[in-house]
Amino acid sequence: MRKQTAMNRDWIATARTLSEALPYLQRYTGAIVVIKFGGHAMGDDAEMESFARDVVLMRQVGVNPVVVHGGGPMINEMLAKLGVQSEFVRGKRVTDAATVEVVEMVLSGRVNKRIVQAINDQGGRAVGLSGKDGGLMLCDQTDAALGFVGTPSEVNPRVLHSLFEAGMIPVVAPIGAGHAGETFNVNGDTAAGAIAAALKADRLLLLTDVAGVKDAGGEVVTELSPDHIRALTEEGVIAGGMIPKTETALAAIEGGVRAVVILDGRAPNACLLELFTDHGAGSLIRA
């Protein structure tokens, strides 16, 4: 039943919000937005549902979203169950032959299909794939000491364009193929950056579990240039887990991505706030 008595003001605000979104909806029609959805940003079923709704809404208003996911915590859990030891060197998992089998199983199987299902449950049409499918992401070994960890050397986004044309939402697991048939474990941020660059994406959204890039006083910086990022890194203000994110952002911009946003994926409707409101979210990085 339509109610026009109580709560009148809330409905008026809802309509105004939609109206105010018009210029943003127009700006992003046909845009390619790559969303890196990290394992730490995934949260519980309610948070997954909220993320999926945002992605489906993007697609509904004419954006071409691509989800590139991680799943580090889920890999850790499975390795622990199987009694396989695992360690990280500079943010990358040392990956032997036994580990890469588990990584592929968890990322391309469990995590990828959970996201696909969540998007489909919201009325979207998601297609799960990894860097192996359609020759999407070929890799070289990053460093012999890391084993089967790959650095993308060739990204062929044709399969993604076919999915856009069919109205589908690609959901990509960060697994790459080697030139000699190897399977490579690729850091999720690295994979998202390489795919965004190959697509010359309008936006790369790096969803994490922190609010953005912080300055020396601990305040989130809402807009930064690559030079500003380099200065904050030299000063040691950008440190730890933020370094791979900002490195990915710089490489993506260098590769032709228009802008990168580092934002908290657990915040409600983080992607919509960033794309479709004046407020924005997190830290926007552009040249």
Binding interface with ligand X2W (CB under 6 A): 38-40, 70-72, 75, 92-93, 103, 149, 174, 185-188
Q: To the nearest whole angstrom, how small is the minimum distance from the Cβ of residue 208 to ligand X2W?
A: 9
Residue matched to tokens 């697994």: 175
The one-letter code for the residue type at 167 is: G
Q: Is 39 a catalytic residue?
A: yes
Closer CB to ligand X2W, residue 164 or residue 283?
283
CA dist list (Å): 178 to 138, 148, 197: 6, 9, 20
Q: To the nearest whole angstrom, how small is the minimum distance from the Cβ of residue 151 to ligand X2W?
A: 10
Closer CB to ligand X2W, residue 92 or residue 132?
92
Structure tokens at 120: 């489909």
Contacts of residue 67, Cβ cutoff 8 Å, sequence gap at least 6: 35, 37, 55, 115, 119, 126, 169, 170, 171, 172
Q: To the nearest whole angstrom, how small is the minimum distance from the Cβ of residue 142 to ligand X2W?
A: 8
Q: To the nearest whole angstrom, how small is the minimum distance from the Cβ of residue 74 to ligand X2W?
A: 8
Spot the catalytic one: 71, 128, 245, 282.
Answer: 245
Spot the catalytic one: 132, 150, 188, 189.
Answer: 189
Closer CB to ligand X2W, residue 64 or residue 142?
142
Closer CB to ligand X2W, residue 25 or residue 84?
84
Q: Is 62 a catalytic residue?
A: no
Q: To the nearest whole angstrom, how small is the minimum distance from the Cβ of residue 192 to ligand X2W?
A: 9
Spot the catalytic one: 38, 39, 131, 212.
Answer: 39
Q: Is 245 a catalytic residue?
A: yes
Q: Which residue is nearest to ligand X2W (CB)?
A: 70
Strand runs labelled E in the chain: 32-37, 64-69, 88-89, 92-93, 126-130, 137-141, 150-155, 169-173, 175-178, 183-185, 203-208, 223-224, 259-264, 283-285
d(CA 12, CA 215): 38
Q: Is 143 a catalytic residue?
A: no
d(CA 42, CA 57): 18
Cβ atoms within 10 Å of 218's Cβ, excluding its own:
7
Closer CB to ligand X2W, residue 185 or residue 283?
185
Q: Is 81 a catalytic residue?
A: no
Q: Coil, helix or strand for 44?
A: coil
Active site residue ranges: 36, 39, 72, 189, 245
